[in-house]
Amino acid sequence: MSDAVIHLWPGLPKARIHPNIYGHFAEHLGRCIYEGVWVGPHGLAPHADGVRLDVIAALKQLRAPVVRWPGGCFADDYHWRQGIGPVEKRPTTANLWWRQTEPNAFGTDEFLRFCRAVGAEPYICCNVGSGSPREAREWLEYCNFGGDSSLTRLREATAGAPYGVRYWGVGNESWGCGGRFRGADYAKEYAHFATYLRALDPSIELIASGTHYGDYKDPILNTWNKDFCEEMHHADLIDHLSIHRYFSRGGGVSFTDAEYHAVFADLITLERDLELTEAVLRYFYPDKHVGIAVDEWGMWHPEATVENGLEQAGTLRDAVFAGAVLNLFNRWARRVTMANLAQTVNVLHCLAATDGPNFYLTPTYHVFDMMRRHMGANLVTQEIETPAYEGHPLGLGKKLDVPALSVSASISGKRLHLTVANQTAQQDLEASVIIHEARLAAAVGRLLHAESPRAVNTFEDPKRVASRRIKVDHAKNEVVFAFPRHSFTAFSLTLE
């Protein structure tokens, strides 16, 4: 008898999983951009036009769909004109949120060249906090306008044809570092900015800054999304509403098993954010499908501080957790249109770490690699019978059952993709996977596991936590899979 049963109905596909759910976020913060992405023309690491080749190769392998830039909090004090033209003429400025000096060597053209090299769509977040609708609209003109103007001539001198940047965010965390607006006040600002952006280029997608609910006791934040949507009644001006969510329990590497479990319990609050945000969007925009963009998410451990540039170690726990979050986004494919892990290199829940020419991939990178096939596939109807443990999600004020296994499945053609996170620290589990109304022809799998959930990769031992192929014996339509404690597994099942 198996511990759990996973039922899949590949003949009952649901929503398409938007590839942008597997997106990234790179801010001018600590060593994310400078050193992490950009080493410049005289950099110590191998590079193309100043961008690290190891980072380009890693993101290309993931088929990274979208990168959000330049922040974060940095975005609401960024003036894009300071980052274009000859580098020696660009000013150095204060990066006020992250207490650094900004050399402005990596600006719009460098970012857009980086995205092209990776094959990702750029997502630019405009400055609402200390900027103006005019500054934002001129940025769009510089990037996208096909007609003749002084700004397009300026772009043509370095970059040539319009870049066609599709995603434009109007401010970041406008309830906090982005200007401390109330929801209704931000709605007025938003409509103001969005009117001019949309008029200049109707093909762009606009992202408004929203907030999560979960653990905030603050009554203003609890009604922010509602207050914003109620006031911003121009549905034509909004395509996505963003929410951010960071998680932390115990230290990054030093945590107890109870803390391992607690963070998976907290994931329930993200689902609650999605439910509440979806309800608001449905109510205020009944005739338009406005997506939810979780355009910052990840683990933020106590050791990541402004003083150390928000650097932290990335363990196997972080990776399994990332897999569970991505499974959740897949299951929410009907509404989640984008998600961006914070942040790409060296900062917070990163995919890769650098030190001069040295480089390694974190365990979380491998989860993104193992989940690649979900991008653009159709979510499959699923039902799970799984053991559960008791959890006390932060801010919910009640206990809930946390499923031991987190699952999502999708289909593209005859290929069924199944990804499973074992959310327990100590329990090896076996699950029967029953595929309804279809027969299996072949099955292959990959496993990400180590003896401890605290295992990390380092410059000295860069492959300590890496995925490996596993053998799968399959019967016609029922397979029994083993899911070791604190592991992440991906299967590719071919149907007859």
Phi, psi of 81, deg, nearest 5: -65, -25
CB-nearer residue toward ligand AHR: 278 or 296: 296
Rounded least distance, CB 226 to ligand AHR, Å:
21
Rounded least distance, CB 318 to ligand AHR, Å:
15
Rounded least distance, CB 317 to ligand AHR, Å:
19
- Token pair 């510089």 is found at 142
Tell me the three state secondary structure of residue 80. Answer: helix
Q: Among candidates 413, 488, 408, 406, which has minimal Cα distance to 455?
A: 488
- Complete DSSP assignment for 286-355: TTS-PEEEEEEEEE--TT--TTTTT----BHHHHHHHHHHHHHHHHTTTTEEEEEEE-SBSSSS-SEEEE
Active-site annotation holds for 231 = no
Phi, psi of 444, deg, nearest 5: -135, 155
Rounded least distance, CB 191 to ligand AHR, Å:
22
CB-nearer residue toward ligand AHR: 100 or 381: 100
Distance CA 137, CA 180 (A): 22
CB-nearer residue toward ligand AHR: 10 or 36: 36
DSSP H/E element including 154? helix 150-158
Phi, psi of 222, deg, nearest 5: -65, -25
CB-nearer residue toward ligand AHR: 325 or 429: 325
What tokens were used for 350?
């990163």
Q: Give yes or no for residue 296 binding ligand AHR (CB under 6 A).
A: yes
Q: Give yes or no for residue 173 binding ligand AHR (CB under 6 A).
A: yes
Rounded least distance, CB 27 to ligand AHR, Å:
5
Is there a contact between 403 and 458 (Cβ–Cβ < 8 Å)? no
- Residue range at the interface with ligand AHR (CB under 6 A); choices 77-85, 104-112, 191-199, 340-348: 340-348
Catalytic residue among 35, 110, 296, 311: 296
CB-nearer residue toward ligand AHR: 27 or 201: 27
Active-site annotation holds for 35 = no
CB-nearer residue toward ligand AHR: 75 or 443: 75
Q: Give yes or no for residue 237 binding ligand AHR (CB under 6 A).
A: no
Q: In what order do the strands lie in the sheet with 4-16?
A: 468-470, 440-448, 488-495, 415-422, 405-412, 378-385, 4-16, 429-435, 478-483
CB-nearer residue toward ligand AHR: 97 or 481: 97
- Residue range at the interface with ligand AHR (CB under 6 A); choices 51-59, 67-75, 122-130, 202-210: 67-75
Size, binding site for ligand AHR by CB under 6 A: 11
Phi, psi of 104, deg, nearest 5: 60, 20
Catalytic residue among 35, 138, 141, 173: 173
Query: Is the link from the previous residue into 171 a cis peptide, with omega within 30 of 0?
Result: no
Q: What contacts 51, CB < 8 A, 6 or more positions away?
A: 37, 38, 39, 110, 113, 114, 117
Q: Among candidates 395, 396, 477, 487, which has minimal Cα distance to 433?
A: 477
CB-nearer residue toward ligand AHR: 340 or 423: 340
**Which residue number places its CB atom closest to ligand AHR?**
72
Map the footprint of ligand AHR across residues 14-33, applying CB under 6 A. 27
Burial status of residue 439 (CB atoms within 10 A of its CB: 0-12, 13-18, 19 or more): exposed
- Residue range at the interface with ligand AHR (CB under 6 A); choices 65-73, 330-338, 447-455, 461-469: 65-73
Among 84, 125, 206, 342, binds ligand AHR (CB under 6 A): 342
Q: Give yes or no for residue 295 binding ligand AHR (CB under 6 A).
A: no
Q: Give yes or no for residue 179 binding ligand AHR (CB under 6 A).
A: no
Among 73, 197, 353, 421, binds ligand AHR (CB under 6 A): 73
Q: Give yes or no for residue 58 binding ligand AHR (CB under 6 A).
A: no
Q: Give yes or no for residue 420 binding ligand AHR (CB under 6 A).
A: no
Work out whether strand 336-342 and strand 23-25 pair parallel, antiparallel, or are unpaired: parallel
Q: Among candidates 161, 158, 249, 164, which has minimal Cα distance to 202?
A: 164
Rounded least distance, CB 207 to ligand AHR, Å:
13
Rounded least distance, CB 169 to ligand AHR, Å:
11
Rounded least distance, CB 382 to ligand AHR, Å:
32
Is there a contact between 20 and 121 (Cβ–Cβ < 8 Å)? yes
Is there a contact between 457 and 31 (Cβ–Cβ < 8 Å)? no
Q: Which residues are tagged catalytic?
A: 173, 296
**Which residues contribute to the site for ligand AHR (CB under 6 A)?**
27, 71-73, 172-173, 244, 296, 342-343, 348
